[in-house]
Structure 1
């Protein structure tokens, strides 16, 4: 096991994450902190980075290094982006950090920054085609992804800070300033030839501005889930948020719930980048990504290559299991049995969605609650599934998986439909009920945790379903346990359950 610190020296904020990486390459974030230093503010063409802001940055980096030392990290990986990238006094800053703190900073090119944004998003979200946008303090990266591959990218030398300064957007925006910034942005977008290829794809947003838009939207809609990663917003509602805020000055924005006070003065300029892009390309949905440059850098460090994951969900599930020190053999076997039951009983299950990801998540993670307590561990597992970062799922899929796990032992868990009415319908609960019975049967068929039941097959008749087991040794115990589900099975599927 080792720990590393990853520092992202941005034009607005400096961020640190400390990550524990295990021998099996599973990992977890154990600390995170950020400071708003605004290296990109008060820059001049002649000098570059403002001396007082350099001092603040070094003070912040010294504190971050102390945190890393106190947590016994094995090393620090530090990267810097646009403000440092274009500063005439770049070497002065880098040399001071090296001499005073013994930290080597890698200054990323715009192409490298865009790549790490892509690598962070593609390994933590399940999408094929998208336009990724990262709105930073002094630059904005646009990345076009097609068939999960980075097809085009560009780093544009404007962001929240320099746009705010250029168009005086600390004040309330008026028609003149809005038209000026939109004309400026649109002219730049028109000069990107490949951008015209981007049609009918989601826009995936990275960075503090995007997260703030997500928080504002969640407040407005009373969204019941805290997790911002993969939160989805119709773009017309993004434009509504922009329209409501653009007429307020920085002091008025500070009073808005969900909007970071330290970002309130630069929020309108940054949001203009997103809204103008949405309108230029007529994109319909924004997906908030909680993963970006630092995550992409971390994935490359762990994978030791630039190949994106083939199955984001599978990697994320296994990462959780390994971190919770759960033996993967039993959940793998339960998933195999459950998947087989689903495929064979599909004619009578009759649900309108492909539940593969939901069912796999519930099967693989149904026992993680044992690390809290064996007693009522299905309820603990449900909470942990609902509140963990499980990449590759929508919020609805994650919630449904947590409900299936909650019903793993017996059909007593009460689902708060009122709380989650925006996400879960009565039809969804019917799907949960059907899939949970399959999980309960499979869990009981591996009651001894030894894979005694190698395989199952099903025969559907008018009034009965017969499950035939192929066992290594006498399967009486497993069959008896599985038949505890017979009454629930008959109630749900209107057929008597027989297991032989």
Structure 2
């Protein structure tokens, strides 16, 4: 597979090949191919096989033969898929099951033959580091403790910004707990409480901060929590759960028959028996660590490996703005126009003297880069398609209210500023302040596009500024004929939002 994108600086086509990571975990063996090694890695293919390599390792000390055969077949298939995609580099990682089993070395030899690649067997400390790097990669300035619950182990490690602390690994994965407890949730609770004593340092530092939950079992719990609460946005990454409101839900998961749970069909049958152990572990972490919030992460060891391969300069990039910039390059009529739109709106915001937090400024920047990504759709559906593309896109470094803001901004840009044109649930998710900011950004865009026609070089010549109580759009003489009824109406709509007067000034 050859991927094509335009150069941001010169507008040329740039050709690259994808990279792939194969993660041999205790519960699943997964292949994920990405566009490349980037600050905002975008998956282009994702496939997993639930092999259960770690099942019974805690009690027998060996990998199950049937699980090994399933894993080897999966690895052979993944090799063919990588060849088909013309992957440039394949990184293969193995974690707790292969690390802890006495027949792990023999399995890894066979696995290397099956996939045709060397395999890195991660130590517990290295696995914890990669898990933390995944959270650093996926969240904007994270501050808290990462907990990566796999099938065989749990890794806990402190993160603050791009700084990663020393991690601890414990045999508290879902399969390991199921095995060691003999299927008894009460016994599993005792095992968890005893084992977490080793993580006293990480849990003490968690108080009042964020717990970043990594791993398929916790993502499955979050999916069920969204169903129970009728949450409007079915996106896992950066889904926030209030620990104080989640205890009853976790008790329900521990005690109920999984078959009776709402939306249980969205969880694979192989993972359903592990939900109770994920709930037990999360409940105990909440009890001991007292986090302010729980944030679900869709990024973990694999993305952490990619982050580890970035140089220091690229690590400093904002993942949201990088992802928005990539979409701008790939889908906008004139990518440079998105950059000019950001500068043009910034000048106007400054001239109005409108207070804007760093968070809001960052969202507006991303919104300007995403403003034109829906232009290829039919005009009647550009707003709706842009909203869905942004609300459900694979963005990182972005919380759910921010997603709603970005989606609403571009929707209103195409469909007009009336809140009645969009569903109330996404409006509620944004909240009143971001909702009004989305309308304001859309109003500025609705002035910009009839002037610039989405082409670069025009907005710097046609500034929008506030002067006294007036919103003033300045047009040079050779563009005076742009001032038709449509443009006048757009300037009036923007001025009305700010309780100001509209002016179009010919220079």
TM (norm. structure 1) is: 0.87
Contact 2:35–2:43 (8 Å) recurs in 1: yes
Distance in 1 (alpha carbons) for counterparts of 2:135 and 2:151: 19
Distance in 1 (alpha carbons) for counterparts of 2:78 and 2:65: 20
Tell me, what secondary structure is at the counterpart of 1:49? coil
Instruction: Name whichever of 212-221 and 415-424 sits farther off.
Output: 415-424
- The reply on whether 1:114 has 2:128 as its aligned counterpart is yes
Q: Which residue of 2 aligns with 1:222?
A: 230
Contact 2:192–2:284 (8 Å) recurs in 1: yes
Superposition pairs of residues 84-233 of structure 1, within 5 angstroms: 84-169=98-183, 171=184, 173-174=185-186, 177=187, 180-190=190-200, 193-233=201-241
Tell me, what secondary structure is at the counterpart of 2:291? coil
Residue among 425, 445, 449 paired with 1:443? 449
Deviation by residue 1:46-86 (Cα, 9 ceiling, x = unmatched): 86323332222111211222222333333422110011112
Aligned-pair CA distance for 1:178: 5.8
- The reply on whether 1:454 has 2:468 as its aligned counterpart is no
Tell me, what secondary structure is at the counterpart of 2:168? strand
Residue among 485, 488, 491 paired with 1:483? 488
Deviation by residue 1:195-251 (Cα, 9 ceiling, x = unmatched): 423331111111111101211111011112121111111112332222112223566
Tell me, what secondary structure is at the counterpart of 2:472? strand
- The reply on whether 1:338 has 2:345 as its aligned counterpart is yes
Superposition pairs of residues 44-83 of structure 1, within 5 angstroms: 48-83=62-97
Contact 1:10–1:39 (8 Å) recurs in 2: yes
User: Any stretches of 5+ residues in structure 1 without a counterpart?
Assistant: none
Q: Which residue of 1 aligns with 2:7?
A: none
Distance in 2 (alpha carbons) for counterparts of 1:421 and 1:450: 32
Q: Which residue of 2 aligns with 1:314?
A: 321
Distance in 2 (alpha carbons) for counterparts of 1:26 and 1:280: 33
Tell me, what secondary structure is at the counterpart of 2:167? strand
Instruction: Name whichever of 260-269 and 449-458 sits farther off.
Output: 449-458
Tell me, what secondary structure is at the counterpart of 2:343? helix
Residue among 382, 385, 390 paired with 2:390? 385
1:390–1:82 distance in 2 versus 1, CA, 3 Å: same
Distance in 2 (alpha carbons) for counterparts of 1:491 and 1:334: 21
Contact 2:39–2:322 (8 Å) recurs in 1: no
Deviation by residue 1:371-392 (Cα, 9 ceiling, x = unmatched): 4346754443333222212222
Distance in 2 (alpha carbons) for counterparts of 1:432 and 1:51: 56
Equivalences, count: 487
Q: Report the RMSD for the aligned CA atoms in angstroms.
A: 3.0
Contact 2:98–2:105 (8 Å) recurs in 1: no
Residue among 269, 274, 280 paired with 2:277? 269
Instruction: Name whichever of 45-54 and 81-90 sits farther off.
Output: 45-54
Deviation by residue 1:127-159 (Cα, 9 ceiling, x = unmatched): 331111100111111110123311232222331
Deviation by residue 1:335-365 (Cα, 9 ceiling, x = unmatched): 1101111121134xx7899621332222111
Tell me, what secondary structure is at the counterpart of 1:389? coil
- More helix as a share of residues: 2
User: Any stretches of 5+ residues in structure 2 without a counterpart?
Assistant: 1-15
Tell me, what secondary structure is at the counterpart of 2:232? coil
TM (norm. structure 2) is: 0.86
